[in-house]
Amino acid sequence: MGLFRKKNKSKKKQYSSEIHKSLNQKVKGYESYDSPEERKKTDLAFREYLYEQVIEMVKYFAQIKDYLIRLQILSTWSAAESITKNLNRMKYLLTAKNDEVYRHSTFFDSPKISEWIEISVLYIIESEMILIADEILRQMKDMLEGFQKEEAMQIELKIMEIEKGVRELTSSLNERAELIASFEIMALE
């Protein structure tokens, strides 16, 4: 089953899944991708929520970097720079104007999007992104707590795990933007 295809009109809307319900509960202002008006509100609500998560990551990671510099753990500096670069990329994607990120997609304007796109895929992607962001924040908080308590820990391993999560989240955010941007191309076929 492809993401973009002409759908059978007799199928019921699938966005009322448990994933959609959990997104509604977790993300303030999250509605659905059913109508153009709801799509704009939902995209904005999701981006604002994820932006707040990324800002928390930036705050925590700045503190982690301070510890890495003070302790002169050179083996982590490359990964730390990668994390910083990806956090900045996400900040841009989450705050840029829609036409900068989604180009000239008709995703937000087309009234009959449900005929062309399996929208539940977008809910799944967004739900997974929130789970990844939550895990990154947990890892960062644990690492900071370890530094503050002067606990022995595998610093390099923890930084690599954070870097992997941040790369995965950045990649998912890029894929989400590409999915939305590609709607016009697919709908015109």
79 part of a folded domain:
yes
List the one residue out of 89, 96, 102 whose CA is nearest residue 177.
102
11 part of a folded domain:
no
Predicted TM-score (pTM) of the model is: 0.84
Q: Give strand pairing partners of 117.
A: 4
What integer best gives the mean pLDDT of the chain?
85
Q: What DSSP letter does each residue of 91-117 carry, written as one string?
A: HHHHHS-HHHHSTT--TTT-TTGGGTB
The pLDDT value recorded for residue 152 is 73
99 part of a folded domain:
yes
Token pair 């937000």: residue = 108
| 130-188 confidence digits (pLDDT tens) | 999 999 999 999 999 999 888 877 999 999 999 999 999 999 999 998 888 877 644 44
The pLDDT value recorded for residue 189 is 45
The pLDDT value recorded for residue 171 is 96
Residue 117 has pLDDT above 80, yes or no: no
Give the burial string for 137-168 (b: 16+ CB within 10 Å, else e).
bebbeebbebbeeeeeeebeebbebbbebbeb
Angle at 51 between CA 182 and CA 174, to 5 degrees: 25
Going by the DSSP 8-state scheme, the letter that residue 75 receives in this structure is G
39 part of a folded domain:
yes
Top-confidence residue, 7 or 141: 141
What is the C-alpha radius of gyration for the chain, rounded to an integer number of angstroms?
19
55 part of a folded domain:
yes
Residue 6 has pLDDT above 60, yes or no: no
17 part of a folded domain:
no
1 part of a folded domain:
no
| 69-102 confidence digits (pLDDT tens) | 998 988 999 999 999 999 999 999 999 887 778 7
Domain range for 121 is: 35-187
Token pair 């955010």: residue = 173
The pLDDT value recorded for residue 3 is 47
The pLDDT value recorded for residue 58 is 98
d(CA 70, CA 72): 5
24 part of a folded domain:
no
Q: Confidence class of residue 14 from pLDDT cuts 50, 70 and 90?
A: very low
Domains identified in the chain, total number: 1
